[in-house]
């Protein structure tokens, strides 16, 4: 069923949609994307990436990359997630993606209900020279925005596909954890592998899972 997405919130303003992928896994970075779409962009497959098939996401990714006015993807490592927590890491990832856009947005559409003004975190290498500019940049947090606004949905597709691609790549070095299938989420296969083999450098050691408490603590 085709989603009926809005293309913008504000008239005559350059808006970037922002979303992340990978807040819940036990392993791997969190990825974030920022996308500025043409006002008339439309694609029948576009929706919240979690509601799309992998095939549909893979079809849409090159379409978004070729037709977007600007797009960017950034990641924050498991080590930095442990250092600054997953919420701050997700927000930092979105700011890193925004900072990489070739076209500067005038407004941000954020998926979810938590965000904060731009700032440096030394841990994620956000440049300090643009803080005054970005601290004035307005934004709206939109709960389930990836199913409501096309720029956020597009960002969700990019963040998800880039993260899945990365997890499949590092799964080749750690095949027993099943990351090419579970993408680092705490499935039984993944948890059993941690119990047998322990944590890897890609694991988020600050994440607590009941089945692993004896292993971690």
Where do the structural domains in the chain lie, given as residue ranges?
Answer: 15-216
Give pTM, 2 decimals.
Answer: 0.92
Q: Give me the pLDDT at residue 126, please.
A: 64
Q: Quote the CA–CA distance of 2 and 48 in Å, as a whole number.
A: 11
Superfamily of domain 15-216: Ribonuclease H-like superfamily/Ribonuclease H (3.30.420.10)
Cα 192 to the center of its chain, rounded Å: 26
**pLDDT, tens only, 38-96:** 999 999 999 888 889 999 999 999 999 999 999 999 999 999 999 989 999 999 999 99
pLDDT score for 103: 95
- The predicted-structure confidence for 156-201, as pLDDT tens digits, reads as follows 999 999 999 999 999 999 999 999 999 999 999 999 999 999 999 9
Q: pLDDT tens across 93-135, in order?
A: 999 999 999 999 999 999 999 998 876 655 566 666 777 777 7
């Amino acid at each position: 069923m085709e989603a009926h997405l809005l293309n913008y919130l504000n008239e005559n303003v350059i808006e970037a949609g922002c979303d992340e992928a990978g807040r819940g896994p036990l392993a791997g970075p969190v990825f974030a994307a920022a996308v500025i779409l043409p006002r008339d962009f439309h694609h029948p497959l576009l929706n919240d990436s979690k509601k799309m098939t992998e095939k549909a996401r893979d079809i849409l990714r090159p379409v978004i990359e070729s037709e977007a006015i600007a797009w960017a993807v950034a990641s924050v490592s498991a080590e930095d997630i442990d250092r600054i927590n997953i919420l701050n890491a997700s927000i930092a990832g979105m700011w890193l993606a925004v900072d990489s856009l070739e076209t500067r947005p005038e407004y941000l559409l954020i998926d979810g209900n938590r965000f904060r003004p731009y700032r440096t975190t030394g841990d994620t290498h956000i440049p300090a020279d643009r803080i005054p500019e970005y601290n004035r940049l307005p934004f709206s947090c939109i709960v389930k925005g990836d199913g409501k606004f096309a720029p956020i949905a597009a960002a969700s597709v990019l963040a998800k596909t880039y993260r899945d691609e990365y997890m499949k790549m590092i799964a080749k070095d750690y095949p027993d954890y099943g990351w090419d299938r579970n993408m680092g989420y705490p499935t039984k296969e993944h948890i059993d592998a941690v119990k047998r083999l322990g944590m890897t450098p890609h694991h988020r050691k600050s994440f607590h899972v009941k089945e692993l408490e004896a292993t971690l603590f």
